Structure 1
Amino acid sequence: MNSNERALNLIGLAQRANKLISGEDLVLKSIRSNQAKLVLIASNASDNARKQFLNKCEYYNIPIVNQFSREQLSHALGKDRTVCALTDGGFVQSLQKLL
């Protein structure tokens, strides 16, 4: 199992542990309220979406990862998603080690 697969498994685990927020509106809200610790956006997300989240994350100083495709993120989460945010520092640290 490579580190990308392990990272995707960790994302799925974070969701099951209720430490992950997905969906554009909820993620934006979590960024504004400083709940989001790390944002994942699909590498094949629309230019508008990518620009919106890059700007928000830069402004609020939140790391952003875009190395997974929409298909990979959706598969890890078990539902069709382009963007999600980790809300737990422990999961963020583990994910950053894998990436």
Structure 2
Amino acid sequence: MMPNKFLQFLSLTKKAGHLVEGYNKCEEAVTKKIVYAVIISCDASENSKNKFKVKCEKNNIPLIEGYSEKELGSVLGRDFIKILAVKDEGMANKLLKLWNDSQEH
């Protein structure tokens, strides 16, 4: 299995201290417009997905959905995580590029 560059870079983003983790913290960060991308697990509730989709669209923040809560959690040293936000613009842009590249293959 090929290493997933997106998940590897997400792990680096956490180690650099540029991730917000969890529903309430991410919701607050999106509302305050202090994040540059939001990542939501594909197995988050439809209600959560819809709320973040609307908030992200309203604030022009890209939303990535496509990994399970276990995949996201495993690279972050947790059992699972449903919602993350990226506080650093450069790291967010790199994650978005890696995500888009992975969708083209």
CA drift at 1:36: 1.1
Q: 1:21 & 1:74 partners in 2: Cα distance?
A: 13
TM-score by length of 2: 0.87
SS of aligned partner of 2:75: helix
SS of aligned partner of 2:44: coil
Q: Percent identical across equivalent pairs?
A: 29
Q: What CA deviation, in whole Å up to 9, does each residue of 1:14-71 have, x standing for no partner? A: 1111101000000001001111100000011111111111111111110000011111
For 1:50, the equivalent position in structure 2 comes to 49
Partner AA of 2:7 in structure 1: L
Partner AA of 1:18 in structure 2: G
Q: What CA deviation, in whole Å up to 9, does each residue of 1:73-99 have, x standing for no partner? A: 111211221000011111112112212
For 2:97, the equivalent position in structure 1 comes to 97
TM-score by length of 1: 0.92
For 2:77, the equivalent position in structure 1 comes to 78
Gaps of 5+ in 2: 100-105
SS of aligned partner of 1:85: strand
* Mapping for residues 1-99 of structure 1, pairs under 5 Å: 1-2=2-3, 5-79=4-78, 80-99=80-99
SS of aligned partner of 2:20: strand
SS of aligned partner of 1:73: helix
Q: 1:78 & 1:48 partners in 2: Cα distance?
A: 26
